[in-house]
Amino acid sequence: MTDRPIAATIAVVLREGRILLVRRANPPDAGRWGFPGGKIESGETIEQAAIRELYEETAIRGEAVEVFTAVDAFDHDEHGGLRRHFILVAVLCRWCSGEAVAGDDALEAEWFDLEALGTARLALSLNVGEVALQAAAISQTG
């Protein structure tokens, strides 16, 4: 286990009423759907990290609009012990170009209707639905 939480970012991209998600290949939440994202590198801003991770995981180019929330993500071992604690800083991003293609540590990349996030069909990472709705509310008022 690491001594301190790890700073990471997630890119929340809405396009024509749909939200971009990736199915994660690695812990935490391997196999579950969540936002493209990853660790913030030294000297990199939160927004730069979100845009970089967005491109690495989906081949989509985006523009950071607003940092809007943060959530905890816990990576537990098979016995329930804490391996790592991530703090995920959510960045609302505007789609600029590209089509969703899974890359880096994503198994799949896909656009989903916001309404689909509430169905049992999707195995979502914790807080994905709530963060998506927050992003949608911000983009409607902005």
Distance separating alpha carbons of residues 14 and 112, to the nearest angstrom: 9
- Classified as helix, coil or strand, 28 is coil
Identify the bridge partners of residue 67 per DSSP, sorted by sequence position: 91
Which residues are CB-neighbours of 16 under 8 A, at least 6 positions away?
Answer: none
- Classified as helix, coil or strand, 131 is helix
57 part of the active site: no
Q: Active site residue: 44, 56, 66, 108, which one?
A: 108
Active site positions, annotated: 108
